[in-house]
Chain A
């Protein structure tokens, strides 16, 4: 059963930007592109860079450390980069953002 947790309002996440959610076990990056929100483990599969600090565009984020491109939808590195980072389910309801851990 999915356990939805409210984390913030949609407006708290800047357009083409990100916020970091700190949970007990890991840090999650919430990205916003348009009115879509994506949640990824805030750790690049390459060398562990904080993806939340990267530049967001066309459904991907560019890691600030070495420029790996990670798909926001599935957490997979965009070819020719390789690797994958964990994704989480996101729901937007009445302007609030919920994630499922």
Chain B
């Protein structure tokens, strides 16, 4: 097949991100030609401030080396401007009479700094702050001259000012508004920032309008304001805003309105021409931060690859200043109006100011200064439009879960030194993460996980890693929420999309789902296959195909894999009750198979550890007890206390209800593991308050609590309902679990699911709607009916290829 010709105008971050994505999903579709106006390969523009501040070198911030272009067969024309697009002949004309044909054209022309139309703007020493050349000029000037004036007290201006100050210059920031970063900060936070920067030696002139730049022999020597005042200047940096580069598109007659107008597929008004990045206007908005550009790039690559799915629906953006040691964060509409309320914390001496703006029970904006730990959390709630009614009282005090276990209780990444451990599971230090972000050009949590393994196991340090990303990338970092994230790299679809399609289209096998949803890979991967398998069997019990090869090893061999490749065996003991006969059999098995360790588990069971795979079927046969499902995303155990049978304080028969629950819900697969407990009185000896479903007996009945968690992040369960009888307790618990089974995403514990949908939702579906509760409960019982014990099934099978090895003589 003849390759199509793709021409990319613009060799910056947005354009190259499209090319990178395109090479991933449609590597052989196009012959690619790239034009770049700058004489450098693609570099990380948001890292210019650290280069200016002397914290990094230019080589460190190159994203795609010249070798990369060559390896991927991309024709690269550096330092060559594209002058004209001939849409009739589908040709771009560049400098020196060069002409290149295209089938598809991608405009990623970026933006230019806005230069104030004042006399003297052409003088030597007057520059903008946009690219590496500007940066080098600033570094060079700092060596020879003394007075720098930065016009513009926004994000870019302050980063420039800080860098010049660190390079030893005497820096004055001139700003038109009455406080700094007025578009991102309210007056109070703006003043705190100014105060901090003044301590670092910067000077500020606010509410000053620049009238002229004064020159001496062609070089700038001062700045004059409209009030007549003058200050000396050897260098003037204009940082008063950017404007999208649309000249090329406009000259070709492509519709522009401040930016190049694109639709949700990043297509311009000419269907052969796409545009991404700072040069576009999407739904009337232009973006100057990197996260939206990357979202655009993904969508654009998808359409260029002719997959035709994915839409860009605009981005919420948050701001963070990249000045070492200053923490500020802002997002959304933080300036209130008559319809909004504000929660404010103002600790002047401690240098902390937080404001959350709320409208109709939802966060609409936030400004944080001095303590930005919870910025990403607030931002996520803002983006998701989460109702904050229930947590309003605690909102200001933050999420406080970060690093609960394994990080010495640290919640602030900025206070950590490079040699401190961030990820306790994989032993990754802060320095390793920052180094990888800088050297490998990482932008997302997933990339950090892949490259460093930090936050890729238990995830308790995710908050810390996100903070590190945010502080390294500044405005470049924008966390995705699980609701909008594709399931994995094999698909564009989210968990919610897939659940919906499986339900509505009645898809019954993994190949069917993959075909219907246009999977990008033939066999999926180890992330999507287990998720799809669960969605299928939970949505269509007794009908969908359960695919053992799409299950994690533990569920495939019905035992828990250990670090040395051996397995552990935990037989079921309903309600934690056993008897001498069972114990004798367990002891005999442990002797006969020389089981290296016998341990009592946290869920009141007995664990036989260190069993070889080959011995599993024989052990199960000798035990003659049901599988305890200690290995599965399934019901684990129902922990119980002694209850009325023997306990002098017991008010209810907790062991009886525990056994009933465990027998009824045995063999229940779920999005993640499910732990339950029943306590016979409010002393709560079975620890019901940290379980997915925890029940507490009181004199007048049973209280049902849900969505607790005792692991990485201890979470106390929340009250769902109070019932009178054991039967009602069964129905409420079962209905809650079925709702979780039907609606949660794979690998989402009840606590995270409830965090996402809200307890009120679960209450309305389970506690308050009797008909729905019954229906849910019936669906659960139907799903579980006829499920066979997995150990018994294996034992009865004649051939056991999963467990037997093939022997060879050599």
The interface residues of chain A lying within 8 Å CB-to-CB of B451 are 80
Q: Decide if A90 is an interface residue (CB 8 Å cutoff).
A: no
Q: Decide if B733 is an interface residue (CB 8 Å cutoff).
A: no
- Stretch among B88-96, B517-525, B621-629, B693-701 lining the A interface: B517-525
Given contacts A65-B563, A67-B456, contact A58 B522 (CB under 8 A): yes
Which chain A residue lies CB-closest to B528? A57
The interface residues of chain A lying within 8 Å CB-to-CB of B565 are 48-50, 53
B805 x A21 contact (CB < 8 A): yes
CA–CA, A69 and B550, complex, Å = 16
Q: Decide if B809 is an interface residue (CB 8 Å cutoff).
A: yes
Q: Decide if A55 is an interface residue (CB 8 Å cutoff).
A: yes
Which chain B residue lies CB-closest to A100? B810
Interface residues of B in 534-549 (CB under 8 A from A): 548-549
Interface residues of B in 468-525 (CB under 8 A from A): 521-525
Which chain A residue lies CB-closest to B547? A16
Which chain B residue lies CB-closest to A99? B808
The interface residues of chain B lying within 8 Å CB-to-CB of A16 are 523, 549-550
Which chain B residue lies CB-closest to A49? B565
- Between A3, A47, A67, the greatest number of chain B beta carbons within 10 A of the residue's beta carbon is seen for A67
Interface residues of B in 416-436 (CB under 8 A from A): none
CA–CA, A24 and B565, complex, Å = 19
A54 x B526 contact (CB < 8 A): yes
Given contacts A53-B557, A53-B561, A58-B522, contact A8 B806 (CB under 8 A): yes
Interface size on B, residues (CB 8 A): 33
CA–CA, A7 and B450, complex, Å = 36
The interface residues of chain A lying within 8 Å CB-to-CB of B556 are 53
Q: Decide if B801 is an interface residue (CB 8 Å cutoff).
A: yes
B805 x A27 contact (CB < 8 A): yes
A22 x B810 contact (CB < 8 A): no
Q: Decide if B552 is an interface residue (CB 8 Å cutoff).
A: yes
The interface residues of chain B lying within 8 Å CB-to-CB of A53 are 553, 556-557, 561, 565, 613
Interface residues of B in 309-328 (CB under 8 A from A): none
CA–CA, A69 and B489, complex, Å = 14
B561 x A57 contact (CB < 8 A): no
B563 x A57 contact (CB < 8 A): no
A26 to chain B, nearest CB (A): 10
Q: How many A residues are at the interface, by size bracket?
A: 35 or more
Which chain B residue lies CB-closest to A8? B806
B553 x A54 contact (CB < 8 A): yes
CB contacts between A and B, total, < 8 Å: 91
Q: Decide if A40 is an interface residue (CB 8 Å cutoff).
A: no
B809 x A24 contact (CB < 8 A): yes
Interface residues of A in 62-97 (CB under 8 A from B): 62, 64-67, 69, 80
The interface residues of chain A lying within 8 Å CB-to-CB of B554 are 64
Q: Decide if B354 is an interface residue (CB 8 Å cutoff).
A: no
CA–CA, A40 and B561, complex, Å = 20
CA–CA, A27 and B565, complex, Å = 12
A3 x B523 contact (CB < 8 A): no
Interface residues of B in 768-810 (CB under 8 A from A): 801, 805-810
Given contacts A7-B806, A22-B806, A50-B565, contact A55 B549 (CB under 8 A): yes
The interface residues of chain A lying within 8 Å CB-to-CB of B529 are 55, 57
B549 x A15 contact (CB < 8 A): yes
A33 x B523 contact (CB < 8 A): yes
Interface residues of A in 10-32 (CB under 8 A from B): 12, 14-17, 19-24, 27, 30
With beta carbons under 8 angstroms apart, the residue of B552, B563, B810 that contacts A47 is B563
Which chain B residue lies CB-closest to A3? B810
With beta carbons under 8 angstroms apart, the residue of B456, B457, B525, B549 that contacts A17 is B549
B707 to chain A, nearest CB (A): 27
Which chain A residue lies CB-closest to B554? A64
With beta carbons under 8 angstroms apart, the residue of A5, A17, A54, A62 that contacts B808 is A5
With beta carbons under 8 angstroms apart, the residue of B523, B801, B809 that contacts A57 is B523
CA–CA, A19 and B800, complex, Å = 11
Which chain A residue lies CB-closest to B530? A55
Given contacts A57-B529, A67-B456, contact A21 B808 (CB under 8 A): yes
CA–CA, A22 and B810, complex, Å = 9
The interface residues of chain A lying within 8 Å CB-to-CB of B557 are 53
Which chain B residue lies CB-closest to A42? B565
B615 to chain A, nearest CB (A): 14
B809 x A64 contact (CB < 8 A): no
The interface residues of chain B lying within 8 Å CB-to-CB of A54 are 526, 553
The interface residues of chain A lying within 8 Å CB-to-CB of B561 are 50, 53, 64-65
A81 to chain B, nearest CB (A): 8
The interface residues of chain A lying within 8 Å CB-to-CB of B808 are 5, 7, 21-23, 99, 101
With beta carbons under 8 angstroms apart, the residue of A33, A56, A64 that contacts B552 is A64
Given contacts A53-B561, A57-B525, A58-B525, contact A14 B552 (CB under 8 A): no
Q: Chain B 677-707, CB within 8 Å of chain A: the 1/0 string?
A: 0000000000000000000000000000000
With beta carbons under 8 angstroms apart, the residue of A19, A64, A101 that contacts B810 is A101
CA–CA, A64 and B554, complex, Å = 9
A53 to chain B, nearest CB (A): 4
Which chain A residue lies CB-closest to B562? A65
The interface residues of chain A lying within 8 Å CB-to-CB of B809 are 5, 23-24
The interface residues of chain B lying within 8 Å CB-to-CB of A66 are 453, 457
Q: Chain B 429-459, CB within 8 Å of chain A: the 1/0 string?
A: 0000000000000000000001101001100
Identify the A interface with B (CB < 8 A).
Answer: 3, 5, 7-8, 12, 14-17, 19-24, 27, 30, 33, 47-50, 53-58, 62, 64-67, 69, 80, 99, 101
21 contacts between A and B (CB under 8 A): A7-B806, A7-B808, A14-B548, A14-B549, A15-B549, A21-B806, A22-B807, A23-B809, A48-B564, A50-B561, A50-B565, A53-B557, A53-B561, A53-B613, A58-B523, A58-B524, A62-B526, A64-B561, A67-B526, A69-B526, A80-B450
Known A-B contacts: A21-B808, A22-B806. Give 18 more (CB < 8 A): A8-B806, A19-B806, A21-B807, A23-B809, A24-B809, A24-B810, A47-B563, A53-B553, A54-B526, A55-B549, A56-B549, A57-B521, A57-B525, A57-B529, A58-B522, A62-B526, A64-B554, A67-B526
